[in-house]
Structure 1
Amino acid sequence: MHFTSFHALISSLIFLFYWLIIVATTLRVVFKRRPTTYVIAWMLVIYILPIVGIILYFALGEAHLGQQRVKRAQKMRPTISKFINKLNEFSNIFTSNVSSVSKPIFQLCKHQTGLDGINGNHIELLSNTNDIFDRLIEDINQATSNIEMVFYIWNKGGRADDVENALIQASKRGVVCRLMVDSAGSRHFIRTDASKRMREAGIIIIEVLKVNLFRFMFRRLDLRQHRKVVIIDNYISYTGSMNIVDPRYFKQNKHVGEWVDIMVRMNGPITTLMGAIYASDWELETGKRLSLPQITDFAEPPEEKKHIMQLIASGPGYMENMIHQVLLTAIYSAQEQIIFTTPYLVPSDDILHAVCTAAQRGVEVIIIIPKKNDSLMVKWASRAFFSELLDGGVKLYQFNDNLLHSKSVLIDKQLSLVGTVNLDMRSLWLNFEITAVIDDAEFAQSLFTLLQTYLANSDEVSTKEWKNRPVWQHVVERLFYFFAPLL
């Protein structure tokens, strides 16, 4: 009898303790003030999966950097603020004389970062894989002082090996070479002979955000360094969607074809800001401080209305929601046309409503996504948004044959956003990302011409055919839609 009473007491205490944890976790989710769909999804996970749901939330639900990185981020802020103030002393490289469609974004950047549009840059859109590798290797071969890189994926083979060899030769002639690669995205490369050869040649390679199951107590487990950046001699810089991979040798077992990417090659004052972002990432990861680039010593004379730019860096430790705000501002600024390219389409409710509202006020809204996708979950979650987008007047196109991996937004053939950001919750709220904001009609025309080639190789999603798809597809889409806020 006493044993039965003791057992009942223990059971009651365990039950009470469990529900106290459930209540505490629920309050924590709600107080984070994330989008409603995000909150509801996590609450369902917590309630449907006892104990496991709570563990998943604390491992994956919050973008906490870890105490050590938070301290480093706080320590860096005065240095970055001082650098921005110093930049502003060189007023000739800044301008507020931007186009009407771009003005709201540059005003947002000014108030959030303290910097106006950066003038006098020379930029080039590169869309052919071999051309990108050729230009990058040529610039590496001509480097004289330093090369800094950060990439989500580095995959040996083909043209990636050519980059490896060029970096080794640069290091041997005295160029300081630093490379950061994401631990998850580049997990195979980190353990290859290629990585060993590069280190032996004096190249500093840092594995960023190391993946380790024991680290989830101190840092969110699936944080990703998703930037793609190259800086050469503090003068030339690159960013865009392409990792250091040769598409002929990358993920061919997924049967999605070769990845199609774009990069932007830049020189001029904008590279100064790129260098500051890289130095911040380096210190955040290693705790070691890099010298910030010398301001305008290398900048070409500003040209009126020539390639006015800004760089938007996002991720934990950076301005919260910044890239989300920039995208919303761009969408609401559009008067004639918006064209998106993204491999992963899992938008926030705010962006979904913004693009549908734009279409309903007469703006032509086009979204180009790949027909085949390397992520099964994202593919089906994306399809869950098709009906609302089509009903809202948005034109959806699916790119044939290969996996369209380019991430771009073109507004009114004037404002371009090119970088690493996908239209999904992970890019918008979690990953370390970077986007180049470009106010220039000439560059926009180059991007528009490229987008027309994408459209020529794409099939438009028919509203009538979409509504007549099999019932089982509806079921699968709604199932994966449940996970959309968590992808």
Structure 2
Amino acid sequence: MKWFLLFEIVYLITILVVVFRVLYDTRSGVKALAYILLIILVPFLGMFFYFFFGINYRKRKLYSRKIVEDEILHQRILSHIWNYSEQVIHSGLLSAEHFNLTRFIRNSSTSPLTGNNAVKLLLNGEEKFPELLNAIENAKSHIHLEYYIYENDDTGNAIADMLIKKAQQGVEVRFMYDDFGSHNLGRDFIRKLEENGVETAPFYKIKWYALVNRLNYRNHRKIIVIDGEKSFIGGINVSDKYRNDNPAKNDLYWRDTHLMIEGPATFYLQYIFLCDWNFCARNKMQFGVNYFPIDSQKAKITDELVQIAPSGPDSKLPVIFYSLLEAIGSAKKQVLITSPYFIPGESLMDALLIAAKSGITIKLLIPGKSDSRIVNSAARSYYKELLRHGVKIFEYKKGFVHSKVMIIDDSLSVVGSANMDYRSFDLNFEVNAMLYSKTLTQQLQQAFNNDLKQSSEINPMDWINRPKYIHLYEKVVGLFAPIF
């Protein structure tokens, strides 16, 4: 009996200590509540989930070295490109309603607003990969790739063969891949690249003895920089499944969005790559003007203004999350959102509901069928409240929509790697491009409208009148959504 009493006391103390740790360590109140409920209801499972997925090491040892090295590199680059960005800010091309947004991104990440960019919209892998291969083939100085998912398949091998060809021609080639997202690459694939002159680096390599530390904070970015002049950014990883021109390889239509950028916006993507590379690679890169060829840029300022918004566990603020809130708050007419994973949390929900009640048209496009049934149900737990406030919700039916796009009115749009969920906002390394351009916004809205033709709109009354047990299931799943 005494042993049982002792066990109960130790058990209770353990739960209290873990609950205190959750409250102390978790910035999001909703997320903390989800973990506490799970720990109380299913103690052992809850504690396992928290210690495996929830511990926030990011303000301690985990990225202290990266933060310091990033700051040193940043100071060198800052003096090199900052003067150029000043003329863009004062050029008169930026609409007044976007001043606060650009200032926030600049002040919180030091990412400058850039002009003189030529941006090409790439829809799906069948448009992206030919452009990427062509850019790699024409590289003269260096090629930098950074991917979350890179598959050892036809698409991945075609790009790898081109990288090897360029490395053998004397071009600097660096290939960085997330060790979790690209776990299927295999050692033979990496060895082939290295033996042919390509430098490789796994981002934050997963090790069994440090699995708790390393599983959460993954590099979800998709960045390619060619010669410091051309870059690619968006949601498309390297895999056969991202292209729809070979049904034998992929029977699921995959809808995604990417950008090809030529111009000074490439400089900040280059800076991000250098910081990430120096964090995880043995062979560190040194700052060089060849990586930031300002002299090659034309003097004329165009109306395609681009600002890169990065975010990650090493950020002082969740830059991407706050930039989306600011963008929604600046809307006057419409907010159009496409996201494959939609777990917005209280702040983003409030921003959308306030905008909808202010008479702004809000349209949300998410997958009708997701690659995660639980995440899909969690997303649907938010539908009722959104529909009640006039938000129009569409589910994509043609295949799987993986685009991460937001359109504000007719002059601001966002394309990048970040989903609208806690993992992208709080855990992963992400990067978005803020496009202050009527031309690009119009193109993205055209693509959005075309996607709506392949979607079905949720009828508010039909949705509310579904069986109560379905609503209950979605609510329960949604309650624990912050820990997915």
TM-score, length basis structure 2: 0.92
Correspondent of 1:274 among 255, 265, 269: 269
Does the 8 Å CA contact 1:73/1:284 hold for their aligned counterparts? no
Query: Quick one: structure 1 residues 286 and 385, their matched pair in 2 at CA, closer, same or farther if it must change by over 3 Å?
Result: same
**Change in CA separation of 1:327 and 1:256 when aligned onto 2, cut-off 3 Å:** farther
Identity among equivalent positions (%) equals 27
Alpha-carbon distance, 1:73 to partner: 2.2
Between the aligned partners of 1:182 and 1:232, the Cα distance in structure 2 is 20
Structure 1: gaps of 5 or more residues: 1-6
Deviation at 1:455, TM superposition (A): 1.1
Instruction: Measure how far apart 1:181 and its partner are.
Output: 1.2
- 3-state DSSP class of the match of 2:209? helix
127-136 or 67-76: bigger deviation: 67-76
2:73 aligned with 1:79, yes or no?
A: yes
The 5 A counterparts of 1:149-298 are 149-191=145-187, 193-216=188-211, 219-247=213-241, 257-286=252-281, 288-292=283-287, 294=289, 295-298=292-295
User: Residue 376 of structure 1 is aligned with which of 373, 389, 405?
Assistant: 373
SS in 1 for 2:337: strand
Match of 1:130 among 118, 126, 129: 126
State how far apart, in whole Å, the 1-side matches of 2:85 and 2:471 are: 56
Distance in 2 separating the partners of 1:38 and 1:78: 34
DSSP 3-state at the match of 2:398? coil
Alpha carbons of structure 1 residues 80 and 14: separation in structure 2 relative to 1, 3 Å = farther
1:336/1:412 contact within 8 Å kept: yes
**Distance (Å, rounded) in 1 between the aligned partners of 2:251 and 2:317:** 34
In structure 1, what is the equivalent of residue 419 of structure 2?
Answer: 422
What residue in structure 1 maps to residue 320 of structure 2? 323
| 2:34 alignment partner, one of 9, 22, 41 | 41
Deviates more, 1:112-121 or 1:362-371: 112-121
Aligned to 1:341: 338
1:24 is matched with which residue: 17, 41, 44?
Answer: 17
1:140 aligns with 2:136: yes
> Which of 390, 405, 409 in structure 2 is aligned with 1:408?
405
Contact 1:119 1:302 in 2 (8 A): no
Distance in 2, Cα, partners of 1:298 & 1:20: 64
User: 1: distance between equivalents of 2:271 and 2:112?
Assistant: 16
The number of aligned residues is: 477
> Is 2:88–2:301's contact at 8 Å kept on the other side of the alignment?
no
Query: Equivalents in 1 of 2:108, 2:409: separation in Å?
Result: 24
Superposed, 1:384-395 pairs within 5 Å as 384-395=381-392
The alpha-carbon deviation at position 458 of structure 1 amounts to 1.0
Tell me how far apart the structure 2 counterparts of residues 84 and 141 of structure 1 sit (CA, whole Å). 30
What is the CA–CA distance in structure 1 between the aligned matches of 2:140 and 2:128, rounded to whole Å? 20
Provide closer, same or farther for how the CA distance between residues 287 and 59 of structure 1 changes in structure 2, counting only shifts above 3 A: farther
The alpha-carbon deviation at position 62 of structure 1 amounts to: 2.8
Q: How far is the alpha carbon of 1:402 from its aligned partner?
A: 1.0
Q: Is the 2:125–2:242 contact (alpha carbons within 8 Å) kept by the matching residues of 1?
A: no
Instruction: Check 1:174–1:36 CA distance in 2 against 1; reply closer, same or farther (3 A cut).
Output: same
C-alpha distance in structure 1 between counterparts of 2:306 and 2:243, whole Å: 34
Aligned letter for 2:256?
D
My pick for the range that moved more, 265-274 or 295-304, is 295-304
Superposition CA RMSD, Å: 2.4
Aligned residue among 469, 473, 479 for 1:476: 473
Q: Is the 8 A contact 2:26 2:56 kept in 1?
A: no
Deviations 1:438-471 (A, max 9, x none): 1011111111111111111111111011112223
Contact 1:275/1:293, CA 8 A, preserved across alignment: no
Once residues 190 and 232 of structure 1 are traced to their aligned partners in structure 2, the CA distance between those partners, rounded to angstroms, is: 26
Query: Which of residues 102, 107, 112 in structure 2 aligns to 1:106?
Result: 102
Give the drift of 1:323: 1.0
1:94 is aligned to 2:94: no
Instruction: Pick which of 35-44 and 23-32 moved more.
Output: 23-32
Choose 449-458 or 159-168, whichever is displaced more: 159-168
SS of residue matched to 2:119? strand
- Aligned match for 1:456, one of 449, 453, 456: 453
**Contact 1:212–1:221 (CA<8 Å) still a contact in 2?**
no
Unaligned runs of 5+ in 2: none
Provide the C-alpha distance between the structure 2 equivalents of 1:352 and 1:109, rounded to a whole number of angstroms.
21
Q: In structure 2, how many angstroms separate the alpha carbons of the residues matched to 1:434 and 1:151?
A: 12
CA contact (8 A) 2:117 2:264 kept: yes
Deviation at 1:371? 0.8
Between the aligned partners of 1:299 and 1:312, the Cα distance in structure 2 is 24
Name the CA shift for 1:99/1:107 in 2 (closer, same or farther; >3 Å): same
Q: CA deviation at 1:216?
A: 3.7
Q: 1:363 to 1:147 in 2, by over 3 A?
A: same
AA in 2 matched with 1:176: E
Q: 1:321 and 1:13 mapped to 2: Cα distance?
A: 43
Partner of 2:50: 57
Instruction: Summarize deviations over 1:3-54 as a string: whole Å, max 9, x none.
Output: xxxx71x544443333333223222222345232211101012222334422
1:228 alignment partner AA: K
* In 1: Cα distance, 2:105 partner to 2:97 partner: 14
TM-score with structure 1 length normalisation? Answer: 0.92
User: Matched residue of 2:35: which SS?
Assistant: helix
| Offset from partner CA, 1:341-396 (integer Å, 9 cap, x none) | 11011112100111111011011011111111101111111111110111111110
